[in-house]
């Protein structure tokens, strides 16, 4: 009951906070349901080759979905950290992670119809969805931690952009490590093994973010 109440409260918070950015709320929707499908169609148009389409889907999702997943997160963080009078937001509920996790879950739900279509064509793309869940959690952790550590979302935005660019560039020069970007989708235990470092990193950043979040109102 209490959990339900908290979820409802957090959802309302997110709603009011995101209302302030107006039409830009549609950016993730446009990205997921216009930009990525258009790119997929263009790829299919190039040779009507399903293999090529598959690779294209995998690439586009790995490039765009993580960046779009932090769209709402960034603006909720902006509201919590930079808006005048934000100390009000910390009086009763100091930890902002539940709200951000709800933004993350919202995005995951938004992603479902797109992946329903994809898996209709290529059943193993569900593994990509799972991969993106972990990667997007990492992005959430990165944004959360850097925002509360530096008390500005400028660093968060920069960190997210630099990391997404790095993963794509690292993949092209065959440097492993920080890059999750691959043109093939591992499955089963292979995927789990691949994602463990990213999940650990996400966990560390979320914990770090929680600590910085806790001390944030005191440091103001």
Residues at the interface with another protein (CB under 8 A)? 20-21, 24, 27, 39, 42-43, 45-46, 63, 67, 74-75, 78, 82, 150, 152-155, 157-158, 161-162, 164-165, 168-169, 174, 190, 193
Residue 125 has which token pair? 């793309």
Please compute Rg for the chain using Cα positions.
18
CB of 84 to another protein, least distance (A): 9
The distance from CA 52 to its chain's CA centroid, rounded to whole angstroms, is 26
Pairwise CA distance, residues 193 & 178, whole Å: 14
Which CB, 26 or 105, lies closer to another protein? 26
CB 110, CB 40: distance < 8 Å: no
CB of 215 to another protein, least distance (A): 15
CB of 87 to another protein, least distance (A): 13
The distance from CA 112 to its chain's CA centroid, rounded to whole angstroms, is 14
DSSP of 116-139: HHHHHH-GGGHHHHHHHHHHHHHH
CB of 112 to another protein, least distance (A): 24
CB of 208 to another protein, least distance (A): 16
Query: C-alpha distances in angstroms, 200 versus 35, 71, 183, 196?
Result: 31, 22, 23, 6
CB of 5 to another protein, least distance (A): 29
The kind and range of the H/E element at 192 are helix 188-219
Which CB, 93 or 193, lies closer to another protein? 193
Pairwise CA distance, residues 40 & 61, whole Å: 10
Which CB, 4 or 19, lies closer to another protein? 19
Which CB, 74 or 210, lies closer to another protein? 74
Which CB, 116 or 183, lies closer to another protein? 183
Residue 211: what are its φ and ψ, rounded to 5°? -65, -45
Which CB, 93 or 220, lies closer to another protein? 220
């Amino acid at each position: 009951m209490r959990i339900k109440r908290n979820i409802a409260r957090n959802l309302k918070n997110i709603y009011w906070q995101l209302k302030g950015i107006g039409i830009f709320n549609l950016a993730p929707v446009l990205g997921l349901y216009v930009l990525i499908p258009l790119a997929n169609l263009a790829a299919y148009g190039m040779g009507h080759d399903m293999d090529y389409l598959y690779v294209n889907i995998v690439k586009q999702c790995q490039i765009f979905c993580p960046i779009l997943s932090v769209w709402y997160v960034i603006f909720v963080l902006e509201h919590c950290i930079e808006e005048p009078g934000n100390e009000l937001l910390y009086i009763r509920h100091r930890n902002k992670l539940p709200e951000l996790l709800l933004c993350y879950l919202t995005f995951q739900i938004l992603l479902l119809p797109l992946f329903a279509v994809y898996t209709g064509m290529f059943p193993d793309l569900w593994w990509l969805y799972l991969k993106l869940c972990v990667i997007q959690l990492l992005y959430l952790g990165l944004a959360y931690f850097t925002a509360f550590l530096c008390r500005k979302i400028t660093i968060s935005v920069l960190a997210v952009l630099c990391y997404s660019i790095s993963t794509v560039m690292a993949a092209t020069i065959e440097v492993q490590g920080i890059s999750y970007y691959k043109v093939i989708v591992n499955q089963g235990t292979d995927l789990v093994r691949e994602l463990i470092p990213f999940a650990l990193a996400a966990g560390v950043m979320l914990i770090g973010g929680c600590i910085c979040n806790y001390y944030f109102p005191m440091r103001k």
